[in-house]
Amino acid sequence: MKFKPADKIQDLQYFGEFGGVNPSISDSSTYTFLSAKTMFDTFEGNAEGCYLYSRHTTPSNLYLGEALAAMEGTETANVAASGMGAITPTILQFCQAGDHIISSRTIYGGTYAFLKNFTPRMGIDTSFVDITKLDVVEAAITSKTKIIFCECVSNPLLEIADIAALAKIAKKHGLQLLVDNTFSPLTISPAKLGADVVLHSLTKFINGSSDTMGGVVCGSQELIDSLRNVNDGACMLLGASMDSLRAASILKNMRTLHIRMKQHSHNALFLAEKFEADGLKTVYPGLKSHPGHTLYKSMMNEEYGFGGMLTVDVGSLEKANELMELMQQRNLGYLAVSLGFYKTLFSAPGTSTSSEIPEEEQVEMGLTDGLIRFSIGLDNDIARTYKMMRQCMVEVGVL
């Protein structure tokens, strides 16, 4: 039977502490124990259902984690204070000095910077590869390799990773496949395609209102237990834990994720087709011209479409900046980083979210100066939006 992630969210049922339709929020940083023995057992990791301290976990965080695990079809999950707060401890939990990582070269700039500049200080090296070339990925594996890291739909180039094929390679060599699914929640279910770990920045589509940071690592019970372990768990010890009030609000926003994703995708496809027909260099996985289009179709949960992210190359940074400023003036969206908001957000990744990637590497991977990344909003009348965007493009001389 086909995996249906939105049904998993719909089927969650809560009776709050006082019968509320929402779980009661646990607004405590520490928890009482009725006996000293139970406290000892909890520290030893043996007291199921007991809470000890909120950096470890909280009832509200568990509710959100379990909802996300249901959505991704993993055994369980652990939420964190940000996407990076989930990604970095997970990588560190798997790797130690002397180990090696294979990563897609087109990933979010922060993750890239962590692997390129930070983990080498701990003796962990990363090979950055073109993740769409499976032979290159396999050839990069050494006896020291522990994990393969990629994004389903990469930030910002929107390259598509073949999760099932990568999972096969990982299994064959005894590696873990870690997949960041931030750009394609609901649309792609990486764990169902064989990924071992699924990560998200909840800051983006999943929360969807640009009012909080959040992250999650979805995986096996064994992994999540190890991340929370009081003695050597990277989530517990590095401390990027989510606040309970935020966990409760993200859980509530998740309930409309399926409706929002459909509208983001509908609007993005509409604009991508129009921009491409206008002769603009447009990248969107829903376009037949996208090299990963067929692959994406083969992986996707179809009803959610091809996602809300698209890029347009307008030739130069000057033109990109001019266009973005004008679009903001005309109230078509905000010149801002991040994604998943109800209004369109646009930025030039080469000088913002991917500026951590050195210029020569940006050129090599095809990240051009004139590239604008759009996170398309929930506009009810996208034809009107298109008309106004087109007018801006004509005025700045891009069309």
Residues 163-192 contacting ligand PLP, CB under 6 A? 180, 182-183
Complex with ligand PLP: residue 151 or 276, whichever CB lies closer: 151
Residues 105-144 contacting ligand PLP, CB under 6 A? 108, 110-111
Contacts of 211 (CB under 8 A, 6+ apart): 249
Angle, to 10 degrees, between the axis of helix 257-277 and the axis of helix 382-395?
40
Complex with ligand PLP: residue 215 or 219, whichever CB lies closer: 215
Least distance between ligand PLP and beta carbon 81 (Å): 8
151 near ligand PLP (CB under 6 A): yes
Exactly one of 9, 68, 69, 84 binds ligand PLP (CB under 6 A); that residue is 84
Pairing of strands 345-347, 125-129: unpaired
374 near ligand PLP (CB under 6 A): no
Exactly one of 90, 201, 265, 385 binds ligand PLP (CB under 6 A); that residue is 201
SS3 content of the chain, % helix, strand, coil (to 5): 40, 15, 45
Task: Report the distance separating Cα 85 and Cα 91, nearest Å.
Answer: 11
Task: Locate 325 and state its tokens.
Answer: 């400023």
Task: Report the distance separating Cα 238 and Cα 210, nearest Å.
Answer: 25
| Helices of type H across 219-316 | 221-228, 234-238, 244-254, 257-277, 293-299
155 near ligand PLP (CB under 6 A): yes
Backbone torsions φ then ψ of 110, nearest 5 degrees: -70, -45
Task: Please choose, from the candidates 134, 186, 199, the residue with its C-alpha nearest in 3D space to the C-alpha of residue 160.
Answer: 134
Complex with ligand PLP: residue 114 or 386, whichever CB lies closer: 114
Ranked by CB distance to ligand PLP, the top (closest) residue is: 83
Site stretch for ligand PLP (CB under 6 A), options 81-89, 97-105, 138-146, 285-293: 81-89
Complex with ligand PLP: residue 51 or 205, whichever CB lies closer: 205
Backbone torsions φ then ψ of 312, nearest 5 degrees: -130, 135
Complex with ligand PLP: residue 5 or 215, whichever CB lies closer: 215
Which residues of this chain interact with ligand PLP, rule CB under 6 A?
82-84, 108, 110-111, 151, 155, 180, 182-183, 201, 203, 213, 215, 353
